[in-house]
């Protein structure tokens, strides 16, 4: 693994950690959903970097696309931002 | 307090576990025997340029059939639970806005095209039936965002879904009769390595999987949006 790949992987991993923690600690539900989607997005870039484009596509389409939509949809159904 | 401490303790333990794995990890310098077999024989036996696709569709084809079945069950259960007791109520929504409306009319055909490209080229480039199907479904999602009450041919979706599921199994049976075994891709000629029409039955099977997955996700999203409050 070259130095550049290593540093970019470390950066992406740090970004994933930050988004994951943000999605847990924030009180605003839309922000939490978006940062949970960002975890998947960073993970898919990381997969791409590590040479697994097939997994990266699945992660981007399902993890950060459809799942984020599903969470927003349910959020709209259960009554929006009352707890935020 | 105890709950928090337990959660923290569990997370630290998990972190330690992963840390030991990460620090002990030494990258392999050569492929193991299974991987070596796939790397050496895929081009000769299966004729697919993308080894991942060869493994997913042919070497481990039965697992893929199982995955498609699981997805079908999920879609059926979601449809059953969400559609029950809501006989076609129609309300009205505020208009979605010019930007979303025009944008989705422009983008939806392009997204559909990208999805079809991904699963038709599954044996050549990264991606395949599942990824392509999910991209197809995201086009359906865009249309649903524009007009939550839009019905893009529920009967058509159901027809596409069931026909492609049956055709997938029939393609597998063709492999059983004409080639080496169930879901063997060599019931069609392997063709020229790297061409669009190559790798035997893989493009056919992946197209069917793509259509099936796309139809399942689209029907799930559509039955979800039908439960929207009016």
Domain total of chain A: 1
Question: If you measure CA to CA, which chain B residue comes closest to A71?
Answer: B224
Testing the interface with B: which of A2, A13, A54 to mutate, by most B Cβ within 10 A?
A: A54
Testing the interface with A: which of B7, B27, B131, B221 to mutate, by most A Cβ within 10 A?
A: B131
Contact B229 A61 (CB under 8 A): no
Residue B14 has a pLDDT of: 94
**Neighboring chain A residues of B127 at a CB cutoff of 8 Å:** 53-54, 57
Residue B229 has a pLDDT of: 56
Contact B134 A58 (CB under 8 A): yes
DSSP state for residue A66 in the 8-state scheme: I
The rounded mean pLDDT for chain B is 82
In whole angstroms, give the CA distance from residue B28 to residue B43.
23
Q: Which of A1, A57, A66 is opposite residue B127, by nearest beta carbon? A: A57
Phi/psi for A78 (5° steps) reads -85, 0
**Range from A37-41, B23-27, B116-120 carrying the lowest mean pLDDT:** B23-27
**Range from A28-37, B57-66, B182-191 carrying the lowest mean pLDDT:** B182-191
Q: Which of B126, B130, B141 is opposite residue A69, by nearest beta carbon? A: B141
The rounded mean pLDDT for chain A is 86
Tell whether the model's pLDDT for residue A18 goes beyond 90. Answer: yes
In whole angstroms, give the CA distance from residue B17 to residue B11.
10
Confidence band for A82, pLDDT divided at 50, 70 and 90: low
Residue B103 has a pLDDT of: 87
- Structural domain including A33 reads 3-78
The verdict on residue A83 lying in a domain is no
Contact A54 B217 (CB under 8 A): no
Q: Which of A61, A69, A77 is opposite residue B131, by nearest beta carbon? A: A61
Residues B156, B157, B161: CA angle, nearest 5 degrees: 115
pTM of the model as a whole: 0.79
Residue B149 has a pLDDT of: 67
Q: Which residues contact A4 (CB under 8 A, 6 or more apart)?
A: none
Q: Which class for B19: exposed (0-12), middle (13-18), buried (19 or more C-beta within 10 A)? A: exposed
Structure tokens belonging to residue B3: 């709950």
SS3 B183: coil
The verdict on residue A46 lying in a domain is yes
Mean pLDDT, residues A40-68:
88
Alpha helices in B84-201, H assignment, sequence order = 98-120, 129-146, 154-178
**Range from A37-46, B19-28, B77-86 carrying the lowest mean pLDDT:** B77-86
Q: What ipTM did this prediction achieve? A: 0.76
Contact B227 A77 (CB under 8 A): yes
Residue A84 has a pLDDT of: 44
Q: Which of B53, B128, B224 is opposite residue A73, by nearest beta carbon? A: B224
**Neighboring chain A residues of B54 at a CB cutoff of 8 Å:** none
**Range from A51-55, B48-52, B57-61, B86-90 carrying the lowest mean pLDDT:** B86-90
The verdict on residue A42 lying in a domain is yes
Residue bearing the bigger pLDDT, B29 or B118: B118
Tell whether the model's pLDDT for residue B166 goes beyond 80. Answer: yes
Tell whether the model's pLDDT for residue B148 goes beyond 50. Answer: yes
Cα Dmax for chain A = 49
B81 touches A at CB < 8 Å: no
The verdict on residue A84 lying in a domain is no
């Amino acid at each position: 693994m070259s130095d550049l790949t290593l540093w970019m992987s470390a950066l992406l991993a740090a970004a994933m950690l930050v988004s994951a923690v943000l999605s847990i600690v924030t009180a605003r539900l839309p922000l939490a959903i978006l940062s949970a989607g960002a975890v998947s997005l960073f993970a898919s870039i990381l997969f791409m970097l590590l040479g697994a484009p097939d997994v990266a596509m699945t992660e981007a389409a399902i993890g950060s696309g459809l799942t984020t939509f599903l969470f927003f949809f349910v959020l709209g159904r259960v009554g929006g931002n009352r707890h935020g | 307090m105890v709950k928090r401490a337990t959660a923290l303790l569990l997370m630290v333990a998990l972190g330690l576990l992963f840390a030991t794995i990460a620090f002990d990890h030494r990258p392999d310098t050569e492929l193991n025997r299974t991987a070596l077999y796939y790397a050496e024989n895929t081009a000769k036996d299966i004729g697919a340029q993308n080894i991942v696709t060869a493994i997913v569709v042919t070497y481990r084809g039965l697992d893929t059939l199982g995955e498609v079945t699981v997805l079908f069950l999920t879609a059926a259960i979601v449809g059953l639970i969400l559609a029950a007791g809501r006989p076609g109520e129609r309300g009205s929504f505020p208009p979605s806005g010019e930007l979303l409306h025009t944008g989705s009319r422009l983008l939806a055909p392009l997204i559909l095209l990208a999805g079809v490209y991904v699963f038709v080229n599954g044996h050549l480039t990264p991606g395949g039936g599942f990824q392509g199907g999910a991209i197809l479904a995201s086009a359906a999602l865009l249309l649903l965002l524009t007009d939550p009450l839009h019905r893009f041919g529920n009967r058509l979706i159901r027809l596409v879904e069931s026909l492609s599921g049956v055709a997938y199994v029939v393609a597998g049976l063709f492999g059983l009769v004409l080639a080496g075994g169930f879901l063997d891709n060599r019931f069609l000629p392997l063709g020229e390595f790297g061409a669009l029409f190559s790798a035997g039955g893989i493009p056919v099977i992946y197209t069917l999987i793509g259509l099936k997955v796309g139809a399942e996700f689209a029907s799930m999203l559509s039955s979800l949006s039908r439960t929207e409050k009016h």
